Amino acid sequence: MDRIRIVGGNALNGIIPISGAKNAALPLMIASLLTSDTLTLENVPHLADVEGLIRILGNHGVDIAVNGRREHQDGSYSRTVHFTCRTVADTTAPYELVSKMRASFWVIGPLLAREGQARVSLPGGCAIGTRPVDLFIEGLTALGAEMEIDGGYINAKAPKGGLIGARYTFPKVSVGATHVMLMAASLARGTTVIGNAAREPEVVDLANCLNAMGAKISGAGTSTITIEGVTSLSGARHRVLPDRIETGTYAMAVAMTGGDVTLSGTDISLLDTAIEAIRRAGAEVSAVEGGIRVIGHGDAIRPVDIVTEPFPGFPTDLQAQFMGLMTRANGISHVTETIFENRFMHVQELARLGAKITLSGQTARIEGVTRLRGAPVMATDLRASVSLVIGGLAAEGETMVSRVYHLDRGFERLEEKLTRCGAIVERISD
């Protein structure tokens, strides 16, 4: 099993190219099930989750062609992938595939809309809370689907003639359920109005792609989205938006280690709240042509309190990384997690590096320390694992991060990107 070795203490200087967003690429790939034409996606990241979903879509009959990767002048890689589902080969998404990645459960929407039926295993993914599927069930039921849970599977069936447009308001904001409703309602008869919809940029990206395929969606990016159903969708060509979580992660790494880094191929407007928190912590962050420039001052980190919230609030996917940054702040900070109930598993591993963190319910109290010390640590989930990398970059001595397969699910070529900026990071294969 691979490990990542980090020797801390080096400031980061240079350019880090930002990849396409995993959280946007996955629903966009699933949208290929909605049409018999080819959906071409540019800027698709090379990640374990993306490769896993490619296998799942292949099970449903999607033919996939990858243009390969070509290195550009800025050192980035941009893949273009073509997805073609002439006919749906199987409307069952089996446990052995869906259990490995929660997002694969989202195929239930397109399968139900296009084929009128779906049998999908209950999902898996990171162990950061129960993340129930009740919102998916309620939303699709509002469109006329019959939903039954049997033996760990959801059996879904559309009414004769297909799904029917309806008004539905989510009792709680859910990005995944909003994705599914957008896809399902695009082929429903009549108009669907979704209330309390997720406002994340990835939702907007999916809506833009669906509209390019012939859907009629308005209001994406607001809490009310309207979808006028169409009889069919065509192919399209769409570029995956930059990964705002990767952007925020590297910005926090620079803020913690010090240095001057340009994050290329990204957009500062994708994460206003997180950028403001990083600035309050003492780093300089500014928009530049083609990206974002971050200047960190290392030992001059200021304590900042944050609360995770749905977009446009502070992203839960950056909570662990920000906590890593706060371990070196000159004072006491607080991090409150409101999205997932089990997303503090990185606390005990950061403590191995010398962090002083105490938990009280949903809030972590972080007392900044003057130095962190390298140690062996273990990744527990995707975002927690990269917080340990950030900690290791600023720690004295060697940090060894095990179970890095979590990192491979969401961070493309992390070691290479950091090494190019002066970090000592290497992957060790046992």
Express each pLDDT in 365-414 by its tens digit.
Answer: 999 999 999 999 998 877 778 999 999 999 999 999 998 888 888 899 99
The bridge status of strand 306-307 relative to strand 79-84 is unpaired
233 and 248 within one domain: no
Is residue 340's pLDDT more than 80? no
CA-to-CA distance for 274 and 321, rounded, in angstroms? Answer: 11
Angstrom CA distances, 365 to 237, 295, 356, stand at: 46, 26, 8
266 and 247 within one domain: yes
297 and 200 within one domain: no
CA-to-CA distance for 83 and 101, rounded, in angstroms? Answer: 20
| pLDDT value for 167 | 98
Structure tokens at 287: 């928009």
319 and 213 within one domain: no
Residues at the binding site for UDP-N-acetyl-alpha-D-glucosamine are: 102, 131-135, 172-175, 317, 339
182 and 143 within one domain: yes
- Contacts of residue 91, defined as CB under 8 A and 6 or more positions apart, other chains included, come to 60, 111, 115, 117, 118, 119
Q: Residue 231: which region, alpha, beta or left (left: phi > 0; alpha: psi -120 to 50)?
A: alpha
| pLDDT value for 311 | 96
- Contacts of residue 261, defined as CB under 8 A and 6 or more positions apart, other chains included, come to 12, 13, 14, 15, 16, 250, 254, 293, 294, 421
DSSP percent split of the chain into helix, strand, coil, nearest 5: 35, 30, 35
48-59 vs 22-30: helix crossing angle, rounded to 10 = 10
Is residue 256's pLDDT more than 80? yes
Q: Which tens digit of pLDDT belongs to each residue from 183-220? A: 999 999 999 999 999 999 999 999 999 999 999 999 99
207 and 87 within one domain: yes
Residues at the binding site for phosphoenolpyruvate are: 22-23
Amino acid identity of residue 221, one-letter, is G
Q: Which tens digit of pLDDT belongs to each residue from 25-51? A: 999 999 999 999 999 999 999 998 999
DSSP state of 113: H
14 and 143 within one domain: no
CB count, 10 Å around CB of 351? 15
Picking from 200, 219, 239, the residue at the C-terminal end of a domain is: 239
Picking from 199, 223, 239, the residue at the C-terminal end of a domain is: 239
The average pLDDT across 148-177 equals 94
Using alpha carbons, select from 160, 164, 206, 201 the residue that is nearest to residue 182.
Answer: 206
| pLDDT value for 67 | 81
Q: What is 45-86 written as a DSSP string?
A: ---HHHHHHHHHHHHTT-EEEE----B-TTS-B-EEEEEE-S
What CATH number does residue 150 fall under? Answer: 3.65.10.10
CB count, 10 Å around CB of 150? 8
Structure tokens at 191: 């108009």
Q: How many domains does the chain have?
A: 2
Domain of residue 226, residue span: 22-239
326 and 178 within one domain: no
Q: Is the dihedral of CA 42, 45, 50, 55 positive or negative?
A: positive
Is residue 127's pLDDT more than 50? no
Picking from 216, 239, 262, the residue at the C-terminal end of a domain is: 239
| pLDDT value for 125 | 44
Catalytic site residues? 126
Max mean pLDDT range (118-127, 164-173, 374-383): 164-173
208 and 85 within one domain: yes
- The mean pLDDT value of the chain amounts to 93
88 and 44 within one domain: yes
| pLDDT value for 129 | 41
Are 111 and 120 within 8 A, CB to CB?
yes
CA-to-CA distance for 339 and 317, rounded, in angstroms? Answer: 10
Is residue 131's pLDDT more than 70? no
Residues at the binding site are: 22-23, 102, 131-135, 172-175, 317, 339
252 and 198 within one domain: no
Angstrom CA distances, 169 to 174, 175, 181, 200, 374, stand at: 11, 13, 11, 17, 48
293 and 147 within one domain: no
**Maximal C-alpha separation, the chain:** 66
